[in-house]
Every structure is written in structure tokens, then in C-alpha cells.
Amino acid sequence: MLAILGHRTYRHLFLAQVVALIGTGLATVALGLLAYDLAGADAGLVLGTALAIKMIAYVTVAPIASAFAERLPRRTMLVTLDLVRAAVALLLPFVSEIWHVYVLIFVLQAASAAFTPTFQATIPDVLPDEAEYTRALSLSRLAYDMESVVSPMLAAALLTVISFHVLFAGTVVGFLISAALVMSVTLPSPKSTERRGIYDRTTRGVRMYLATPRLRGLLALNLAVSAASSMVIVNTVVLVQAAFGLDERATALALASYGAGSMAAALSLPRVLDRRPDRVVMLAGGGLLVAGLTVGTFVGSYALLLPLWFVLGFGNSTTQTPTGRLLRRSAPAADRPAIFAAQFALSHACWLITYPLAGWIGAKFGFGVAFAAFAIIAAAATFLATKLWPGSDEDLVEHTHNDLPQSHPHLRAGVQTGGGPQHAHASTDDELHANWPERP
């Protein structure tokens, strides 16, 4: 898997992702301490509001930003957004009012909502080979998992010698290094040859996403993932420390078990995806999430919680990691920022539903009911995915463009399967492919 880092452009982008994630992790710890410093016992309310603001920014800003991504050089856009994020992190230690936190968090997360899908859409252009891209996706998943483990440990070590305000400096440095690494390479910036209005460009990604059967199935799986992950993220501390009477170290170990399961799946997936279709692997991951949540209904001890969290982490990564392959297959290069932004916004819309629901059901009805409710949600979502995502979803679909001249650039794409306008490529729902041929 690490051989992919021999590709210079990808190596720089991957390192940029890693240092930015570590900086973001430091900011997460520092933000919690800042909220307590400003609000005392109401810090939980402040953090909950900040989390809601984050999700709202993700859902609303990503599609708008994608409308401009096809008009701007990607490297310039990514570097600018990194600098905006660094500037916000630089201001956070100096806030004195809670509303200052809310404003800065919205700006920070709006920049992230524009940065992340644009960054993700760049990787398949840098790594056009499917096998290399699959390994890049697994490395990206590992980077997210390692961030959840490394950043809190690094923050804990730093807090023994510095004030929590200084942690924000680590975030600033992380974003500046990320900007420098992106600036050090040349990035492809596919341009659309069509001139579209702002409304069309803003909604294009979501419209393409919802018109593509495999992506409608992916959206259902996003709901299953958010159901399982919300139970872990929202309720781990309450389960471990309130229900089981253990301490913060036990909470950290439980979260580490979840991360370890996710990392184990990410390490094994490249070989699995070389032999099995994405649909089979991702639906299996969804089934694992359902099984884990169902078992969670009966978990009554910390000793059983640890392996359960490992299983849920494994199922989460199995379901999520191949997502980029589906998105890459579902849109031409010029539309990838839009389709990645749609996935970013719609997946976080699922989180916006399940985050508060996990906390509310757990607090009002108990964790057994919460696990059962989220098992039902995940099961319904996974079943829906099997219906929305056709089993005959082939990589190459043979079709004919009788409405296009022989000289049209699209007819030179894909695999030529006959004379004239007949060729084959992955199914893509766009203006040129309003009606695909019937499949079994």
C-alpha cells in the first residue's frame, strides 16, 4: 500500500492531508477547553451548538463552493482555503464571547466544506489507475483514523508544558504546512466546456448524485454509517463513565478500539477490492453495522463494549472507504468537484439527523433502546441500498450516441465497441446520458 507514496504529487497531497488533520485534532481538543473556559458548566451546550454549526456549514456551503471549483485553479483554491483556516485558528485563542466562537467556527468549517471535496476530487485525477486510487483511499481512511488517536495524545502531552490556547498555534502550523505542500506540486484542474448559470452549477452535483442508482444506494449506506458512528461518538463517554463507572482512560481506550477496527479494515480493503465488487463489499459493511448495533442492545459490560466498538469501526471503514471509487466512476473529470461536494453535503446531512437523535434517545429511553432504534435505522438503510443500487451495476455499459457528431470529444472516451457513435464506459448520469440502455 505504501508504494503509492512513491508518486510525488500524491505524496505531497497525502502529507498535506495528514498535517491538516493533526492540526484539526489539536483544535478540537483546544475548542473543548476554550468552551469550558468561557461557559463553565454550560460548555456542553456550547460544543453542541458548535457541532450543529459545523454540520450546517458542511451541508450548505459544499454545493455552493463546488459551483466555483470548476472556474478556479485547484491549487490556488486549496491554498487559499488553507490560509483562511489558518487565519481563523489564529484568532480563536483571543475570543472573549461565546458568539465569537460560533462565528469563527462557521467560517472555519465553511472553508473546510469547500476544501475537502475539492481535495478529494483532485486525487482521482492525480492517480487515474484504479488500483492505485483504491490504495490511496485506504491510506486516506488510515489518516483519518490515526488523527483520532494521535491528536488527543499529542494534545495531552503538550498540555503538560503549555496553555491550551497555544494548541491553536499547532492548528495554524498544520494548515500552513498543508498550504505549502499543496503549493509545491502542480495539480490538474479540469474545466467544463459548458457555460452554466450559478444555480445550475450549484445544484448540478446533487442532481447528478440523486440521478445515479449506485449513488442513491450510497446515500442510504451513508445513513447506516452515521447511525452506527453517532452511537459511538455521542454515547461512548456516557456509557463508559456513567453506566460502567470507569474513568477517562477507559473512554479513550474504547474510542481507540473503534479506531483500531476502522484501521484494520482500511489495511485489508485494497486486496479485497481487487477481488470483489464495491457493491458486495460495502453492503457487507452495512450488514456488519446492523449486526453490531443489534448486539449492542444486550451489551452490559465494558469488556463486551471493546470488541463491539472494534466491529463497528471495521464495518464503518468497510462501508465508507470505497466511496471515492463510486464517485469517480459516476462523473466525468470536470464534474468530479460537484459530485464529491454532493457526497460531502448529503453524508453530513445524515450526521445532522443522527447526532442529536443518538443523544436524545440514549438520555430519555436508555442505551438498550438507542441501540435497538439505530439498528433498525441501519437495517432499513442497508436494505434500501440493495434496492436502489442495481446488482447489475457494471463498470462498462455499452451504448450509442446517435445524437452526437463523430468528432465529439465524448465519443473518444471510454472503450470503442463498434463503428460510429458506439462505445462503452462506466454509467454516468449527465446531459449526454439521460437514458441508459436497459439492464437485466
In eight-state DSSP terms, residue 438 is P
Please tell me the CATH code under which domain 1-190 is placed.
1.20.1250.20
- Convert the pLDDT of each residue in 79-119 to its tens digit: 999 999 999 999 988 888 888 888 888 898 888 888 888 88
Q: How far apart are CA 329 and CA 312, in angstroms?
A: 27
Q: The whole model's pTM is what? A: 0.77
Please name the CATH architecture into which domain 208-390 falls: Up-down Bundle (1.20)
Q: Edge to edge, what strands does the sheet with 415-416 contain? A: 397-400, 422-425, 415-416
CB within 8 A of 59, min separation 6: which ones?
345, 346, 348, 349, 352
In which element (H, E) is residue 399 found?
strand 397-400
Taking alpha carbons only, the member of 404, 400, 430, 403 closest to residue 333 is 430
Q: Is 189 left (phi over 0), alpha (psi -120 to 50) or beta?
A: beta
Q: Which three cell numbers stand for residue 306?
A: 471493546
In eight-state DSSP terms, residue 163 is -
Structural contact between residues 327 and 205, judged by C-beta atoms closer than 8 angstroms: no
Q: How far is CA 182 from CA 3, 107, 178, 195, 435, in A?
A: 20, 21, 6, 28, 39
Q: Digits of tens for pLDDT over the chain (440 positions)?
A: 567 888 899 899 889 988 888 888 777 667 767 776 777 766 656 766 777 788 888 888 878 777 776 677 888 889 999 999 999 999 988 888 888 888 888 898 888 888 888 888 888 888 888 788 888 888 887 777 666 666 656 666 777 777 778 888 888 999 999 999 999 988 876 655 455 665 566 778 888 898 889 999 999 999 999 999 888 887 887 888 888 888 767 877 888 888 889 889 988 988 898 889 999 999 999 999 999 999 999 988 999 999 999 999 999 999 998 998 898 888 887 778 888 888 888 998 998 888 888 888 888 898 899 999 999 999 999 999 999 998 865 555 666 766 667 666 566 555 566 655 676 665 555 556 555 444 32
Q: What residue segments make up the domains of the chain, in order of their start?
A: 1-190, 208-390
Structural contact between residues 32 and 43, judged by C-beta atoms closer than 8 angstroms: yes
